[in-house]
Amino acid sequence: MLLAVTPAFYSFSTFQTRGHSKSTCQSSINEVTSKLYKFSNFKTLATSKTNNDMRRCECFDLYKEHVPYLEALSWQKSIVKEKKSLIDRGEDCFDTLIILQHPSVYTLGTASSEKFLKFEREYAPYNVYKTERGGEVTYHGPGQLVIYPILNLQHHKMDLHWYLRSLEEVVIRVLSNTFFIKASRLEGFTGVWVGNEKLAAIGIRVSRWITYHGLALNVTTDLTPFQYIVPCGIRDRQVGSIEGLLGVSESPKSGMEGKLTTSASQLMDITHDSLLKEFSEVFQLTLCHAPISDLPLEGRNMKLVY
């Protein structure tokens, strides 16, 4: 099992309780801020190392868009169908990655239980869809980066445990290498955790070794909608975000001098760039821009209401 281990990022209050002076703490905060601005200028879709042996992966990059859940699902299902057809004809097919945000929505896995909903169906705060992925109920919304890898595991490793651990590894590297946050896996659960807080949820579906669905990482997400469900069916844990862990704010306020000053949009940009870089390296894929016009149109009117 791969696990990136680096020093954790500590907030201003943590430094104070450990006996560090305010100037020492501010120096550390400045270092992290400098790192954030450095990554804000990082604009690439592929690993910096060009390797002709790496498989190509088309990337539909809509990370600034709020794409309705059913539309994104229809894209995935159409792409999976196309890849199966190519395989049946004995042809190779590129891997695909879609990255985006969703408007507020709740989704449930194949075997999800209603007991994890804290509301009646007719009074649901947002649309609720039951879908084909594994796992229990979760929330998707603005400020959360969602990636949908559509990979042919026959060209990677035909092992679902390996695939799940690899998706977790992508997020662990993002948090460690970009934000100095020490994240980990939690035995018996799928996802990525920082202490008692779950930052990334993972739910997948695999058909004839072609993957779809994927992972969702809370960056600047409003966590309030999670209060109306039992996220992933786990009652004794919390949900967190990168923004919350870093203590990012738009501008310093009274009593918040120790927080990093940056914008939510910049934090999303930084996380987006890092996610694509680490995904490319973990799965050894060269990511290539694909025009949004190439996304399939069929299935946009599909009904999947729970």
Active-site residues, by number, are 232
Residue 126 has a CB neighbour count (10 Å cut-off) of: 16
What is the number of other CB atoms lying within 10 angstroms of the CB of residue 62?
A: 17
Integer Cα distance of 138 and 175 in angstroms: 21
Residues 264, 242: Cα–Cα separation, whole Å: 10
Q: Provide the CA 294 distance to its chain's centre, in angstroms.
A: 23
- The pair of structure tokens assigned to 286 is 């060269």
Q: Where are the alpha helices (DSSP H) in 62-184?
A: 69-88, 160-179
CB hemisphere CA count around 222 (13 angstroms): 9
CA 255 to CA 249: how far, in whole Å? 12
Tracing tokens 């599909």 back to the chain, one arrives at: 302
| Paired residues of 289 in beta bridges | 59
Q: What's the distance, CA 12 to chain centroid?
A: 26
CB 231 within 8 A of CB 137: yes
Give the DSSP per-residue string, 236-288: S-EE--HHHHHT-BSS--TT-TTS-B--HHHHHHHHHHHHHHHHHHHHTEEEE
Taken as a whole, the chain contains a residue count of: 306
Phi, psi dihedral angles at 211 (to 5 degrees): -90, 150
